[in-house]
Chain A
């Protein structure tokens, strides 16, 4: 009889072990990344996982895990799935690309058992800029590719052909490319959601190039709401005439080219939000330009002149984990973490004082053996008492703290970046509802890191389950906010004064507002909704920030929080004049679905376009545009904004090109004493010579400006010093005046 029992046991055991194997054969996994898998390190990305159940109905989950073998303490993201036999479903995981570049496994699980596991393999982001091209002709826009040696700052441009089906419906996914080029009659199959996403992406800072030859209406007319171009005006344009305004004019080919609208030039651009739509009034595959040897130079020139290059190059690299936001959101205002000294005092007090005293009393009572029970029980009682008294002192109810930065693009659209910390009191699980316009990633706070972990249910819910007591959880999110209004700013610079008005037409009232220009902050104070402020302030030619730096060890908690807030304000700021406001008004983007106290700290930022002054000139004041170190020789060092130079020279490139105006005058205050110990020269592009600047005089370039500027429309300035003792100079600041191009 015994062998029967052995047989039953073996069959039972095998049936358990076979079950996953049966399921595995039943489940099929496929990965897909939008935009043909183009991923940029400094963007968020979407990973689509298509799961197919071949043979039977399936209920389980798709997990993104960092370990192949499931362990209890692993970090993972999970999405539940339910499949009918033979059907497929696609789930997705959205997160910063930098996270997915680690080793990840996609696993399909059922009742906690892994039934299918595959290592996620995605191509590593290329170092450079990527232009996505939609064209029926595979070779269209090939001239946009610029190799490393031709590219400034050694960042190559590569062209990647895409199909309409690869285009996503979400604007934020387009952040993985730098430019989208749409040719001729392509685009008829781009659906309305894709088109809406593309337009929203332009507002967020994307560049779209649309070309149209004669009667190629399909694509350009779908952008009519941004740039109306009259149809039915096909014609021909003489190239010598059409290319006259570009540097490449002297080698322009003879002949003409067919154009979509004979009344328009070859290139027409329109700023839209933070981005640009560049209309190319001819078919880029048409001759004689398509195979013209100077076609790449023409495009480089056109991109620079129309501001596309400026947008292109100004996108700073930003850590998408938004650590300053996460760090600040951990400091939930109502949560009073007891200082460690209290713990030490309570523990030490019990061990050193209370326990020996108890023993002494019991000994006097001639019951010393009771100590074995009384002291441990006393410890438990004390723990419970401290917990009962201390818990409400730490936090009374569940709470959340969201730190959000809103970048206003226009009245209808703003870019949003947020991080939130959730703390459940007497809750070991809760859901977080997301606003439909944002995507978010749940995180666990590690000792030195943040790890993705949580359940993503549906499109707009994050779930946290089986939480240890009083464990904070976090999430980061990006997205857009619609119709929040904008500041109405009319500001101009007259000599060294900023004048005009600012009106708060946003949906928030602000605790503090200020205008930031370069290193200078002009405080405007609190601002109610609809309030208007007149501004007439002196602009200070600052070459370094005025912020006092308190030693870290002397900082109070308030000072530390203020510093954290400052880091959030500085995040993704860029070189532009902006109105910045801070508010604690509610901005529920990620909301805990349990009764809780919600706290907010929001930074709202909006760039300012200065109005022309009475002479019709737009002024970019000192400190707004930056100078970059271009070349150095000899003994040198830098301490932030101050450069030290022994025997040698430093050449700065003054990025006048970032002004993106038709420059009329550049002023560099080289008359300041700080520059007097140095020999100063500027580079004259036309003659190829370095021209000395007289000691103690300002450098003012106006009439000969175009002969001085480099092909990048920047100015090179060289400081030399022959002595052996190190002399220091501040990074040169400068002012640009010009007429706006668009």
Chain B
């Protein structure tokens, strides 16, 4: 017997193996005494081997595509699931949702401007009991602060937080006399104080809005039913009329001023003085240098991109919103957080909530 026959090569087929095995058995039968038990076992093993081989040969061409298909489908399903989860997470992160309901409640007759959020969205400020300015921390590291306001025989009607967060403009109305105070927030080194920025008889001031570097304050001045927007410098004794209208709101970079005139949101380019009408609505607020939102008369929050003309307005969906009527939304934290001021009917009150993109 040749060496190759004695030790079949690995690459030989199973058929050859069986043939060789049979030949070997035949040879063994002739040369050794017959062990019938062994013979029977070997035969069984041989037959089993042959059946396995046949079964394997029969199954092989069908099983492969099935397994591949299963893998592909599994992959697609996993990808779809991943996409779905990712999409949900992304949507959850980027979509605007009310995360803190009823942060503060004010009496129904209170002015909507009595509360404001600071630019970093770390705290709220509001007028409490017409005597003091209080803060509500959103950031857990901050502590609430109470600042005593100058005593008044009238009412405090509005607050506006400066961009630096160190000052708050407060509007006071005493019969026909209107005042704007600048309240310096207390620090480790200073107790805080109030500086009278503007006092005028026979007018009503409202809606203060700070300029980019906090060196000017725009506000509405209403006299004999005529509404005007004035600017008062906080670092000099200068002041000037800007335009007719109300509810001024400076864009974060100071280049644009949104305001309300005759029930419309309008836009003024500060460099040129050019005024453009945007849409019907009120209470504009900037979420970025080019995007602003306003409240539509039907109580929905609308958004417009002012860098693209013609201006296209769209409703800004708010998840988890309760059924209150939205009056005003103030943006903070570069368009990530939104202070919502809504009117609740039962019981009648102003409800302040906080919406945000996570």
Could you list 17 further interchain pairs (A-B, Cβ under 8 angstroms) beyond the known A542-B236, A727-B150, A727-B194? A540-B236, A541-B237, A546-B215, A637-B191, A637-B193, A644-B184, A673-B199, A723-B150, A725-B148, A725-B150, A725-B151, A725-B194, A726-B191, A726-B192, A726-B194, A727-B193, A729-B195
B235 touches A673 (CB 8 A): no
B190 touches A637 (CB 8 A): yes
* A99 interfacial contact with B, CB 8 Å: no
7 contacts between A and B (CB under 8 A): A543-B236, A622-B237, A644-B190, A644-B191, A676-B196, A725-B150, A726-B191
* Chain A positions 659 through 692: 1 when the CB is less than 8 Å from some CB of chain B, otherwise 0: 0000000000100111011000000000000000
Whole-angstrom distance from the CB of A523 to the nearest CB of chain B? 16
- Interface residues contributed by chain B, number (CB under 8 Å): 25
* B197 interfacial contact with A, CB 8 Å: yes
Given contacts A540-B233, A541-B238, A548-B213, are A673 and B150 in contact (CB under 8 A)?
no
Whole-angstrom distance from the CB of A649 to the nearest CB of chain B? 15
- Interface residues contributed by chain A, number (CB under 8 Å): 28
| Interchain CB contact (< 8 A) of B237 among A543, A637, A639, A729 | A543
* Chain B positions 231 through 242: 1 when the CB is less than 8 Å from some CB of chain A, otherwise 0: 001011110000
A728 touches B213 (CB 8 A): no
* A642 interfacial contact with B, CB 8 Å: yes
Given contacts A673-B199, A676-B199, are A728 and B194 in contact (CB under 8 A)?
yes
A540 — nearest CB in chain B belongs to which residue? B236
* Chain A positions 711 through 742: 1 when the CB is less than 8 Å from some CB of chain B, otherwise 0: 00000000000010111111001000000000
Residues of A within 8 A of B191 (CB): 637, 644, 726
CA distance A101 to B68 in the complex (A): 89
A546 touches B196 (CB 8 A): no
* Chain A positions 540 through 576: 1 when the CB is less than 8 Å from some CB of chain B, otherwise 0: 1111111010000000000000000000000000000
Residues of B within 8 A of A673 (CB): 179, 196-199
Residues of A within 8 A of B182 (CB): 728
Residues of A within 8 A of B237 (CB): 541, 543, 622, 669, 672, 674, 733
The 8 closest A-B pairs by CB, nearest first: A728-B195, A726-B193, A644-B193, A728-B193, A548-B213, A542-B236, A673-B199, A541-B237
B200 — nearest CB in chain A belongs to which residue? A673
* B243 interfacial contact with A, CB 8 Å: no
Residues of B within 8 A of A676 (CB): 196, 199
* B138 interfacial contact with A, CB 8 Å: no
Residues of B within 8 A of A543 (CB): 235-237
Residues of B within 8 A of A672 (CB): 237
CA distance A672 to B236 in the complex (A): 10
| Interchain CB contact (< 8 A) of B190 among A639, A729, A733 | A639
A542 touches B192 (CB 8 A): no
CA distance A497 to B244 in the complex (A): 27
B interface, CB within 8 angstroms of A: 148-151, 179, 182, 184, 190-199, 212-213, 215, 233, 235-238
CA distance A674 to B197 in the complex (A): 5
Residues of A within 8 A of B184 (CB): 639, 642, 644, 728
CA distance A729 to B236 in the complex (A): 12
B150 touches A544 (CB 8 A): no
Whole-angstrom distance from the CB of A627 to the nearest CB of chain B? 14
CA distance A637 to B191 in the complex (A): 9
Given contacts A723-B151, A725-B150, A728-B195, are A541 and B190 in contact (CB under 8 A)?
no
B236 touches A541 (CB 8 A): yes
Residues of A within 8 A of B149 (CB): 725
Residues of A within 8 A of B197 (CB): 673-674
Residues of B within 8 A of A727 (CB): 150, 193-196
Residues of A within 8 A of B151 (CB): 723, 725
Whole-angstrom distance from the CB of B231 to the nearest CB of chain A? 13
Residues of B within 8 A of A729 (CB): 195
A637 — nearest CB in chain B belongs to which residue? B190
Residues of B within 8 A of A545 (CB): 235
Whole-angstrom distance from the CB of A421 to the nearest CB of chain B? 33
CA distance A639 to B235 in the complex (A): 13
Given contacts A540-B233, A542-B236, are A674 and B196 in contact (CB under 8 A)?
yes
Residues of A within 8 A of B198 (CB): 673
CA distance A644 to B212 in the complex (A): 25
Whole-angstrom distance from the CB of B253 to the nearest CB of chain A? 12
CA distance A221 to B186 in the complex (A): 64
